[in-house]
Each structure stands twice: as structure tokens, then as C-alpha cells.
Amino acid sequence: MFEETIRALKQLSNEKSALSFSADDDNYFDRECPAPECLAQFKVLMADWKEKVRDEEVFCPFCGHAADAQKWWTQEQLEYARDVALAKIQAAIGGALRRDAQSFNQRHFGGGFISISMKVDSRPQHVPIPYAAAAPMRLKIACAECGCRYAVVGAAYFCPSCGANAAELVFDLTTQGIRQSLDAIDFIKAAISDADTAENTCRLIVESALQNAVTAFQRIAEALHARIAPTTKVRRNAFQSLAEGSALWTAAIGHGYEKHLSAVEMEQLVMPFQQRHLLAHTQGIVDVDYIKKTTDARFKIGQRLVIKRETVAEALTLIEKLTHGLRDDVMCMNESNFAPQLKRIESGED
């Protein structure tokens, strides 16, 4: 009775279909980290995804997670693939059922008290719109090690192709992107018609900017410290603490952050670093440790932080000032280490 349907099912089980996904207008291809604790989205230039990225191992620019190339589909791409597969199954099975019904109806017995027929709903099938990549991301990076070109929103530090740490390269680009996002807040607020949605969106942009600024400093401080003290074991996230990071710097070269920031500036920077901690771990709810470490009298325990755009901009300026100072420290260390060898070369000893 269901010969056509059975035949269609067998045919579907033997078929393998290839799906194609489009890139954005700049030919960047959307990817998503498969690590459940990350799930960050980024883009890779389509040509580099095909020619530079290895099938065996791809790295997340944000968390450094590694997995094979088939694990990096975005949720939107997976949803599109499911829609396409379902539409194909519905079309194949629906057509087979209609043919079986027609054959059955032609053979049915009429003229009695009971008349049997079959009907298959033949409403138009939904045709999935082909997946289109999102708008080009703000920050475009070319890996200094392998040349792979990728794009991210926010602060990211690892090359998808080779896994190289790009913290030093990305820092300046990240701070530039943070400023652009802060400058765009008024435009974004005006473009969203619903007042509550506009306010919430702008709040999230400001809070994200603060977290990205502190994280960008943490990553570049880690990279710079590894150059001057490569054998020193550093606690994970140590450079999220200004006091701990300064102590590590002092142990490595004899002075800490106080060389580059005044006492007042250091105090000003403590607050946004602690605010980042609350945003990351308590959804921004003020706790006892925050009050003790910042003496911020504007909030009580249990209240939620309210972070101003101006506060983030000021913190970003201090972070840039401190980072430039640390870079100078590393450069001076490299020059001092090279000086004895240069002196021997000039004297003809080497």
C-alpha cells in the first residue's frame, strides 16, 4: 500500500547532500566556539578558512579552545541546515504519500455502504531562506605568525588557524573598538524606538566595554610578563588584580605599576577592575569585598552597579597609559640584555 513512501525513505537514507553557506559582504565566514562555557562567535576570511585553517584543529580566538573544523557551526547555521533537511524530507515523503494515496483511491471498492479514500495535505512547503552571514564585525585581525585573517567583536587573543597568542597585536585594536562602541551609544539609543530596550542595550554596551578593557589589559600584561620572566609561574587571572600584577612586575624587573601611574591614578583604576569582577561573577550585584576594596560609597551591599560611559572612557585611558609603560619596560629590558653582546661585537671580542 505504501510502496512509493517506502521507496522514498530508502532513497533518502542513501543520499548525502552538501549545504553551502554564504559569507558576508567582505567574504568573512561565521564561526562559533563549541565550548559550552564560551560559545563566542567570530569570523574567518573564507579563503583563509579553506586554505590556512587545518581540518584537524581550529582555535577559538576568545578562549583558545581547540577542536576539529567540523565543530564550529553557529546556531543559526545549524538551524538553517535542519530547516533544509526537514524541507527536503517533507517534499520527498509528501510526494510519495500523494502517489500512494492516488493509487489506493483508484483501487478502492465503491457502491457499498462505506467508501474509503485517502487525502494528503498538499499545502505549500516552507522554503528556508539561505543563511546569510551577519554584518561585518568591528575588529579585523591578521595573524602575525601564519597570516590568517579573522574578525571579532570585543577582545580576542588567539589565531583560529595556528593558535598564536595575539594579545600584543590586538590590544591597540581592542581599545580603538571600545572607544568606537562608546561613541556610538547615542546613535544606538536614538535608533531603537522602545525606550526600555534602548536603555538596556546601551547599558550592556557600556558594561561590555568595561569588561573588554580590563580583559585586554590582562592578556597583554600576561604576554609582556612572559617575555621578561618566561620561567615564572603566574596564577591564572593574576593580572586581573592590580596589586598582584604590580607585585609580579616588581619581582621581575624591580619596580611595579607605580612607575607609570600615580597613587591617585592607581586608586582610580582599582574601582573599574573591581566592577569588572562583579559583572563577571555576581551579575553586577555589589558585595562586601567590593565595598572593602573600593570604598565606593555610592552603592550598598545587594544593589546593582550603575556604570557610566565616562567612567569606562577614563579607565580605558589609564589602562592605555599603564600598558604603554609596561611596553617601555620590556623594551628597556631587551636593550639592556642586548647591550653586553653589542659591546663585545663592537670591541671585536665576538
pLDDT in tens, 229-246: 999 999 989 999 999 999
CB neighbours of 56 closer than 8 A, spacing ≥ 6? Answer: 68, 69
C-alpha cell at 89: 524530507
Residue 242's closest CA among 305, 178, 326, 298?
326
C-beta separation of 257 from 249 below 8 A: yes
pLDDT of residue 345: 39
| pLDDT one-digit tens code per residue, 7-30 | 655 665 565 555 566 777 789 988
Amino acid at 69: A
Residues 291-335 pLDDT 10s: 999 988 899 999 999 999 999 999 999 999 999 999 999 998 877
Residue 107 pLDDT greater than 60, yes or no: no
Alpha-carbon distance 210 to 205, whole Å?
Answer: 9
Q: Which of 16, 15, 64, 17 minimizes the C-alpha distance to 38?
A: 64
For β-strands 28-32 and 66-67, DSSP reports them as: unpaired
Please give the distance of CA 189 from its chain centroid, rounded to a whole number: 24
Nearest to 269 by CA among 240, 249, 292: 240
Residue 223 has pLDDT above 80, yes or no: yes
Q: Which is nearest to 240 in space by CA: 217, 258, 257, 224?
A: 217
CA distance 11 to 133: 32
pLDDT given for residue 248 in this prediction: 96
% of the chain exceeding 90 in pLDDT: 45
C-alpha cell read off for 210 = 568595561
Residue 90: all three cell numbers together: 517533507
Sheet harboring 41-45: ordered strands across?
A: 28-32, 41-45, 149-152, 139-142
Digit-coded pLDDT (tens) for 265-283: 999 999 999 999 999 899 9
Tell me which residue of 165, 168, 136 sits closest to 153, measured CA to CA. 136
C-beta pairs of 331-337 under 8 Å, 24+ apart in sequence? 333/228, 333/253, 334/227
CA–CA dist 212, 208 (Å, integer): 6
* pTM, two decimal places: 0.67
350 confidence band (pLDDT: 50, 70, 90): low
pLDDT of residue 220: 93
DSSP state of 148: -
Which residues are bridge partners to 158 per DSSP? Answer: 165
For the residues 94-100, what does the mean pLDDT come to?
60
List the domain boundaries for the chain.
Answer: 1-165, 167-347
**Each residue of 147-204: pLDDT tens digit?**
999 988 777 789 999 998 878 778 888 888 888 888 888 888 888 888 888 888 889 8
DSSP characters for 105-134?
Answer: HHH---SSS---------PPPP-PPPP-PP
First-to-final CA distance of the chain: 93
Beta bridge partners of 45: 28
Which residues, 6 or more positions from 201, have their beta carbon under 8 angstroms from its beta carbon? 188, 189, 192
